[in-house]
């Protein structure tokens, strides 16, 4: 398995974070079909 596939597997297996409910940092919002958004405190 190459590096790109291993990274994708880790990201896809990650759980949403309670500290990042909008998923703007992790890319995994708590609601599975919600699009991650970035706001000013994420910059």
Looking at the whole model, is its pTM more than 0.75?
A: no
Residue ranges making up the domain that contains 31: 3-42
Task: Return the closest-CA partner of residue 17 out of 29, 7, 8, 32.
Answer: 29
Higher pLDDT, 40 or 20: 20
Q: How many domains does the chain have?
A: 1
pLDDT digits (tens, 9 = 90+) for 20-38: 777 777 777 888 788 877 7
CA torsion sign, 29 to 31 to 35 to 38?
negative
């Amino acid at each position: 398995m190459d590096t790109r596939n291993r990274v994708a597997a880790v990201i896809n297996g990650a759980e949403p974070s309670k500290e990042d409910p909008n998923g703007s940092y992790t890319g995994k919002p708590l609601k599975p079909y919600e699009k991650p958004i970035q706001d000013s405190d994420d910059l």
